[in-house]
Amino acid sequence: MNAVHTTREIHQQPSVWSEMLDDFVKQQEKFRGFLTGIYDKHDHIRIIFSGAGTSAFIGDTLAPALNKQNKQNLSFESVATTDVVSNPHEYLQKGMPTILVSFARSGNSPESVATVTLAEEIIDDLYQVVISCNPEGELAKNIEGDERSLLVLTPERANDKSLAMTSSYSSMIFLAYALFATGEYTEDLAREVVSSGEKLVETIGDDIDQVLSFDFNRVAYLGSGLLAQLSHEAALKMLELTDGQVVPIYESSLGFRHGPKSILTDRSLVVLFMSQDEYTRKYDLDILRELSKAETGMKIAVLTDKKTDEIADLADWTIGVNQGDTPIHNDFYLSLLYVIFAQGLALKKSISLGITPDNPSPDGAINRVVEGVTIYDYK
């Protein structure tokens, strides 16, 4: 079915994470020493997460989690390279010490390379962290021998061969969290998430098959906080792998009422990423209660840490992603498990539509590394 690469790359993720954590532990003293040296040198530092497409959504999801726990002289922001390249004067500040963190599967996207060039031209105190799956990419090669730059690589297997980014996405975001998080990151908790993921990939296909018994042609991904940002990546996977035949949208749980809710028809699926934050969860439950009363014929799937009767009474499908004994209270860690469902749902929906997931766009409308971009000189 031409789904070999995509299937393997979704299924292998917990194994790749485990290998990645092993590598990280060996190098964390060097990594943290590099960052601490910068933190100690400046009164305030701006950390910009940047990438294009899925690589941009890594930063969107990370920034809220890291700003929440930050107690240092740092501010975390996410700005897509596609925004920087077209509007550098709006996003790059000459006098602000900045760490530009570039996320890249291949490291060859023209906007990513151009963003680095612009940052080097505009920002006086610029440091770089390149988090990539490809040691031979242009981004990695550009910083060789640069003492103000750091290259952090995922395991080789994370360099997805499929068009859609799956294990590359989750590996880079997991790695960045380990690198920049403070008190909320511990190796023990990270290992528990890996263990839960190893069990999840063996069972999640059955849950997905149940959801696919409903013939939807629209899907709305909802969440709150960083999970609202995760919904953007989930929607893109569905759009890419179904070649646009399924119309996906993404929105926050509260924002869904403000217009996007009009997408719902009798062939719509709503996927809700439930927060474990006690306060935030109230808003997720409110939209779930409201949608459960709708008479449109649409269906609801809820992703949560553990199944509860309250959610099961309201949703058509309740999927508990935590296969371990210890509850996961950190929404970032839950997002790593939630995204496996979103990837698998898009994969299986693609196959059900007769599309080839490894190359869902045979006419070349989209490519593994973007093509057709002209970069203009900036003065």
Residue with the two structure tokens 């929440």:
68
Give me the pLDDT at residue 82, please.
95
Which alpha helices (H) appear in the chain, and where do they start and end?
A: 4-11, 13-39, 54-69, 81-86, 88-91, 110-122, 138-142, 167-180, 187-211, 226-241, 278-292, 309-312, 331-352
Phi, psi of 14 (to 5 degrees): -60, -35
Q: How far apart are CA 330 and CA 345, in angstroms?
A: 23
CA-nearest of 314, 309, 303 to 338 is 303
Give me the pLDDT at residue 186, please.
81
Give me the pLDDT at residue 368, please.
59
Give me the pLDDT at residue 341, please.
98
End-to-end Cα separation, the chain, in angstroms: 49
Domain boundaries for CATH 3.40.50.10490 within the chain: 4-185, 196-352
176: Cα separation from own chain's centroid: 11
Give me the pLDDT at residue 367, please.
63
Q: How far apart are CA 300 and CA 373, in angstroms?
A: 39
CA-nearest of 166, 52, 162, 47 to 110 is 52
Six-digit token pair at 252? 């926050």
Give the model confidence (pLDDT) of 122-181 as tens digits.
999 999 999 999 999 999 999 999 999 999 999 999 999 998 999 999 999 999 999 999
CA angle 174, 320, 22 (to 5 degrees): 25
CA-nearest of 80, 81, 50, 78 to 64 is 78
Low-confidence ranges of the chain (pLDDT < 50): none
Is 38 strand, coil or helix? helix
Residue with the two structure tokens 């900036």:
378
* CA atoms in the 13 A half-sphere facing the CB of 164: 32
Give me the pLDDT at residue 184, please.
61
Let me know if domain 196-352 sits in CATH 3.30.200.20: no
Query: At 270, which amino acid appears?
Result: V
Six-digit token pair at 91? 């996003």
User: CB within 8 A of 259, min separation 6: which ones?
Assistant: none
Give me the pLDDT at residue 294, please.
87
Phi, psi of 250 (to 5 degrees): -135, 145
User: CB within 8 A of 71, min separation 6: which ones?
Assistant: 182
Give me the pLDDT at residue 375, please.
81
The CATH code for residues 4-185 is 3.40.50.10490
Give me the pLDDT at residue 171, please.
98
DSSP assignments along 105-151, one per residue: SSS--HHHHHHHHHHHHH-SSEEEEEEES-TTSHHHHHTTT-TTEEE
Q: How far apart are CA 61 and CA 78, in angstroms?
A: 9
Is 360 strand, coil or helix? coil
Please state, as a whole number, how many other Cβ atoms lie within 10 Å of the Cβ of residue 320: 18
